Amino acid sequence: MTIRKQAKFTNREKPLEIFWNKYNNYKENMKTGKPDISVLMYYGFGGFGKSALIKQLKLEMEQKLQKPQYVYFDFKIKQESGNVLESIRNMLVINYEFEFPLFDFALLDYAKKIGDNIALSKNRELLKKSEFGNFLLKGMEMVSGVGIVVKLFKWLESGIELGEKKSKYMNFLEKNIKELNDIEIKEPAELYAYLPYLFAKDLTDNLKNNQEPLVVFLDSYEELVNEMLPIGEPLNNDVWIRGKNGLIQNTPNVLWVIAGREKLKWENFNSIWSKVLEQHKLDNLIKEDSIKFLQSAGIEEPVLHEGLFELTHGTPIYLELCVNIYCSLIEKDKKPQIEDFGKNIYDLVTCFVRHMDDSRKDIVYALSLLEIWDDEIVNTIRLKVLPNVSPRVYNIIKEFSFIAKNEELYLMHQTVREVLAKNYYEKHKETATQIIEEAITYCNEKRFDKDLYDEKRDQYLLWFVRFVMKVIVQSNIISFFKNDIEECFDHFLDIGKFETAEKLLNLIFPCVEEQSKAFAYLLFQSSKLNTSAGQYYKALENIEKSKKIYTNLNGIDDLEYLIIDERYGIVLSNVGRYEESLKIFEEVLSKRKEILGENHPDTIVAMNNLGVSYSNLGEYENAFKISKEVLSKNKEIQGENHPDTIVAMNNLGKACSDLGRYEESLKINEEVLSKFKEILGENHPYTIDTMNNLGKNYSDLGRYEESLETMKEVLSKYKEILGE
């Protein structure tokens, strides 16, 4: 068997030099005690060697530095801020024994507040493993009935089991009083947004005695900030990294190295980045360096040098595939010819697989269908669909250069994946379909697994949707959304998980034609998402597009159109166009009465919306009259505690207030608030809106202190859900 020579990293001398200059300058600044923010960005299209550059930088750090400190994270694996920070935290704890007491304590409190018992147990164990984390945990458990900081001070004053550590713990507590109080009082969404700052504070403490910087490598940044997505505000996806209260600006002694497809646009948000952000474009290897790369891997034939450069244009990952094909041919005692590598990139990838044995082909094709995976899902599919593939073969394939790993997850290079998947579907459609069906079944089971914490179940939900999109026909997408994921989607909106809801929609959008009924439906759902996130004009833009597409396809005379029109009326109201909104609701109510009858729940919803419109226009008597009728019908048809009934009560309370009947309004709103808290939770938008109404009631009745406290709480909740 021929042993492949290790290919050398070529044509990256300049990027390497830039890194080391940056590193050494930062190291000198640390000696003065005034380290500045420092961010280095390498950008270029996929396959141009960004990940290989980072790999080489890590290797050189190991070779040149006595005690190198670095951590690597690939955004292809995860993008949610909390999940990313947990992953980086875990690597720093394992590799350098760092401690993150504030961050871990906040995760524990967050899990407790959202009722995630699995994460609660996990985070409790994490706290036990660090000195200050264990101090926080023990103090909480030993003293009851008071707030976090008071508990800890009382425990320290008692001196129980502390000994010489008492002064050390006291210093820690005094230094972090504000943060601990913040953790205690913040609501879940607000606390989640606070995690990057707490992580930065902990990381700063870990690095305070460092003589050299920690290097944080962030790869595939385009997965976090992707401007090509059809919905959302992608440029805001990294505020937790670049923002004033984010990761980078609050962590000295760190050199940040980012790799992605596009230049960062941070200067558009804060002029500070023009001074501390340095960006460099990576291109293909030039011919001379491509040949050096091939020679370093054992390819000496000049004719192959010429042909392979022409084939790959110097793109590093494709040169790497050429090297693999070359070595496979040599192992089979064949003399490689340029024809063995194909005429284009599609041929090249296909040739690469052609020279594998059957078991390796099977697993690499299967992985191309999965795109992103962990060992468990692969082993499940392998045993059921590919029994001839051994764990050893799978482990060999995982080491190929076009497969990246981050923690327990793996992913395949996009171009390689697309070529292999297309080829597999064309030649082995039955097996390919079976693999996807097994993946769908596996993820569908996992997304309901109560033994997993919420973020893990969310991951499996997104995987489930991604796999379904590979096999579903467009005509079934609406029914799939309604039957399988709408409940989860609406739940994300209710609890403020707007990023996850947006990811879910972005998995489906590319699978539908733009002028189709399915596309109109997805725009409708996008408008719901925008409304929940407070993006009212974006919501209006999406619902207008949805309405136009649906009207062109189906006209305006069916019930589905009325649902879209109703959403249009709601969004018009949100942007202050009340008269237009009123007209829409009058039309919707008239048509629903005609089609569904007076007492159908959807007809009653239309009546309710009409009442709200009258209120917005100052026609309070009409609003009061309709609100009473809506409440009466809902109680009779839906029951006392149905959400629609409670919403109707809420609207009646507002109608009473508008007419100056403040005592009646207060009584109604107190009952509504109690019901919403019980059924929907403390942080549901309906609950917060009712608190707002209650605050107004107190003010109307001259109970100003109660009004002020209530409105402060409302403002805090709005900030945590919608942002500053």
656 CB-near residues (< 8 Å, 6+ apart): 624, 662, 664, 665, 668
Does residue 183 share a domain with residue 158?
Answer: yes
Does residue 665 share a domain with residue 551?
Answer: yes
Does residue 223 share a domain with residue 187?
Answer: no
Does residue 391 share a domain with residue 302?
Answer: no
Query: Which of 238, 266, 283 is the C-terminal boundary of a domain?
Result: 283
Q: Is residue 635 part of a domain?
A: yes
Contact 367, 44 (CB under 8 A): no
Q: Is residue 33 part of a domain?
A: yes
Per-residue pLDDT, 203 = 96
Per-residue pLDDT, 159 = 63
Does residue 668 share a domain with residue 535?
Answer: yes
Does residue 149 share a domain with residue 119?
Answer: yes
Question: Which tokens in the block code for residue 512?
Answer: 């539908």
Q: Rounded to 5 degrees, what angle do the CA atoms 543, 545, 550 make?
A: 95
- Domains in the chain: how many in total? 5
Q: Is residue 256 part of a domain?
A: yes
Burial 666-689 (b: 16+ CB within 10 A, else e): bebbeebbebbeeebeebbbbbbb
Place of tokens 């409105």: 711
Q: Is residue 476 part of a domain?
A: no
Does residue 235 share a domain with residue 177?
Answer: no
Q: Alpha-carbon Rg of the chain, whole angstroms?
A: 30
CA dihedral 383, 386, 392, 395 (to 10 degrees): -100
Q: In what order do the strands lie in the sheet with 70-74?
A: 70-74, 214-219, 254-260, 38-43, 277-281
Per-residue pLDDT, 166 = 78
Interatomic CA distance for residues 174 and 151, integer angstroms: 13
Q: Is residue 203 part of a domain?
A: no
Side-chain-side CA neighbours of residue 34 (13 Å): 1
Secondary structure of 303-321 in HEC code, one letter for each residue: HHHHHHHHHHCCCHHHHHH
633 CB-near residues (< 8 Å, 6+ apart): 599, 604, 607
Query: Which of 196, 222, 249 is the C-terminal boundary of a domain?
Result: 196
Does residue 714 share a domain with residue 575?
Answer: yes
Measured distance between the N- and C-terminal CA atoms of the chain, rounded to whole angstroms: 63
Place of tokens 């060697």: 49
> What DSSP state is assigned to residue 496?
T
Per-residue pLDDT, 35 = 65
Residue stretches of the chain with pLDDT short of 70 = 1-12, 35, 45-49, 139-146, 159-163, 226-234, 720-724
Output phi, psi for 488, to 5 deg: -65, -45
Cross-strand partners of 256: 39, 216
Q: Whole domain around residue 322: which residue ranges?
A: 287-354
